[in-house]
Amino acid sequence: MNELKEITKRDIDFAKWYTDVVKKAELVDYSNVKGSMIICPYGYAIWEEMQKVLDQKFKETGHENVQMPMFIPESLLNIEKEHVSGFAPEVAWVTHGGEEKLDERICVRPTSEVLFCDYYKKIIKSYRDLPKLYNQWCTIVRWEKTTRPFLRSREILWQEGHTMHATKEEALEETLKMLHIYEDFQKNYLAIPVIVGKKTDKEKFAGAEASYSLEAMMYDGVALQNGTSHYFGDGFAKSFGITYLNKENKLVTPYQTSWGVTTRMIGALIMVHGDDQGLVLPPKIAPYKVCLIPINNTEEVTKSTHEIEEMLKQAGITYQTDDKDKTPGYKFALAEVKGYPVRIEIGPRDLKENKVTLVRRDTLEKISISKNDIITTLTKLFEDIQTNLYNRALKRRDSMIYEAHNYEEFTSIATTKPGFIKANWCGDISCENKIKDDFSMKSRCLIENESITGPCVCCNKPAKYRLYFGRQY
């Protein structure tokens, strides 16, 4: 492994710091496939933890996993024109099979709406066939020009739900239900505070009637869209000719949703919680909650290490034991880079008093405890660390949310302070575009439950909405 001391300070060069952390924590490596990354075992283990939690939540709400093809014929992709136009710049095309030129181009799926619609047309015939609640864990390809590990890659590991419903009301309920499952997961497992809201028409998903997103703020004040849920109405279904016989024996069209998250959430974990020592993982999502570090390989230390391993196994607490031939200082630093929530230092001096030293990753506080109290102490520590990480991220995020009442104030904030800006908006796309052109800031989502007083921040016409604006990854 590279020298751990080489991690760039995040307040000096945040982009370089991020790259250093993903490399030195051994989350990813670069490949010879341009624009694509290798997800290393530790990085993939974090994704597996996310997948495990979310998959259970999906199944608890009646969803089933399926697997669709990764290729889409061009004629199929072109059925829904608005949808295909939104993805056209990022589509990767297959033109040959072996030496033979294909009669029809085939794209590598950028998303799977059309595949699900093509399938649903075959299997939905009656109201008894609804709802269809399907989910897929897969990869997609989008030909990004600028890539960065986890945040933007040409090959993306993700989850996408696609559902069909008998009524508009059921589909809207599904859209919001899944949005709030994501919200709960990100707040209570990733310890990331997210702003949840509806996207503007300009920013909604291609082909959707309404899109909702989870907007997280990174340490540097830049937004990361950390998940989306879309209501499609019956537009896709009509384009694909999907109909069914309702209870009155009439042919009608169903209503559709889709929703998804990606390994981008790992990037969010790094950029929200990480520090100058490296990764900091919330206990609820850490693949290994504890790192055991034996100090000196004496018989007593080895025996105690095995005893503690057995205690952790019995308690269902995941752990790693670092017994490599390295100095204790190196092992401590490595545990910090990897972000294990707690490390346990097992040394001969402490063991004389039947004690060990616990170090919590979020604060680096050292705690000396009896070996007999390890499990009860860890249980309490995990709760404290999880809560502290969320509250710390929430405090920082809220300290970087500003309000602008006119364009002069907006300009002053946008050019001097990182973070989000709350502002009134008239609803005209030209104002959205002006703010994007002037400050490289996009609307993040609409603000609900706030009274609208005063004019649009951009044009001074009467305001219809409240919006969050922010720069994005």
Nearest in space to 134 (alpha carbons), one of 110, 107, 159 = 159
Residue type at 263 in one-letter notation: T
**pLDDT for 86 beyond 80:** no
The residue-averaged pLDDT of 88-100 equals 93
- Helix, strand, or coil here: 1? coil
Predicted confidence at residue 145, as pLDDT, reads: 87
- Helix, strand, or coil here: 272? helix
Predicted confidence at residue 322, as pLDDT, reads: 96
Who has greater pLDDT, 246 or 1? Answer: 246
State what percent of residues in the chain have pLDDT above 90. Answer: 93
Domains of the chain: 4-71+117-273 (3.30.930.10), 290-381 (3.40.50.800), 401-470 (3.30.110.30)
From CA 244, how far away is CA 123, in angstroms rounded?
Answer: 10
Residue type at 166 in one-letter notation: A
Predicted confidence at residue 6, as pLDDT, reads: 84
**pLDDT for 3 beyond 60:** no
**Using one digit for the tens of pLDDT, what is the confidence trace for 202-237?**
999 999 999 999 999 999 999 999 999 999 999 999
Predicted confidence at residue 93, as pLDDT, reads: 96
What is the 8-class DSSP label of residue 90? G
**Residue ranges with strand state E in 74-154:** 92-97, 100-108, 132-141
Residue-wise over 274-312: b if at least 16 C-beta within 10 A, else e? bbebbbbbbbbbbbbbbbbbbbeeeeebeebbeebeebb
The residue-averaged pLDDT of 10-25 equals 97
**pLDDT for 393 beyond 80:** yes
Residue type at 78 in one-letter notation: N
The residue-averaged pLDDT of 308-314 equals 98
- Band of the pLDDT at 2, cuts 50, 70, 90? very low
**Using one digit for the tens of pLDDT, what is the confidence trace for 37-64?**
999 999 999 999 999 999 999 999 999 9
**pLDDT for 29 beyond 50:** yes
The residue-averaged pLDDT of 329-344 equals 97
Tell me how crowded residue 203 is: count the other CB atoms within 10 A of its CB.
Answer: 16
Residue-wise over 317-332: b if at least 16 C-beta within 10 A, else e? bebbbbeeeeeeeebb
Contact 427, 410 (CB under 8 A): no
Structure tokens at 409: 């104030």
Predicted confidence at residue 48, as pLDDT, reads: 98
- CA torsion through residues 142, 146, 149, 150, sign: negative
**pLDDT for 382 beyond 80:** yes
Residues near 242 by Cβ (< 8 Å), separated by ≥ 6? Answer: 117, 120, 121, 124, 164, 236, 253, 254
Q: How deeply is 394 buried, as exposed, middle or buried, from its count of CB atoms within 10 A (0-12, 13-18, 19+)?
A: middle
Predicted confidence at residue 441, as pLDDT, reads: 98
Predicted confidence at residue 4, as pLDDT, reads: 61
The residue-averaged pLDDT of 89-104 equals 95
CA distance from start to end of the chain: 28
Pick from 28-37, 254-263, 374-383: least confident: 28-37
From CA 165, how far away is CA 120, in angstroms rounded?
Answer: 11
Predicted confidence at residue 5, as pLDDT, reads: 64
**pLDDT for 1 beyond 70:** no
Predicted confidence at residue 331, as pLDDT, reads: 96
**Using one digit for the tens of pLDDT, what is the confidence trace for 158-178?**
999 999 999 999 999 999 999
Q: How many CA atoms lie within 13 A of 23 on its CB side?
A: 17
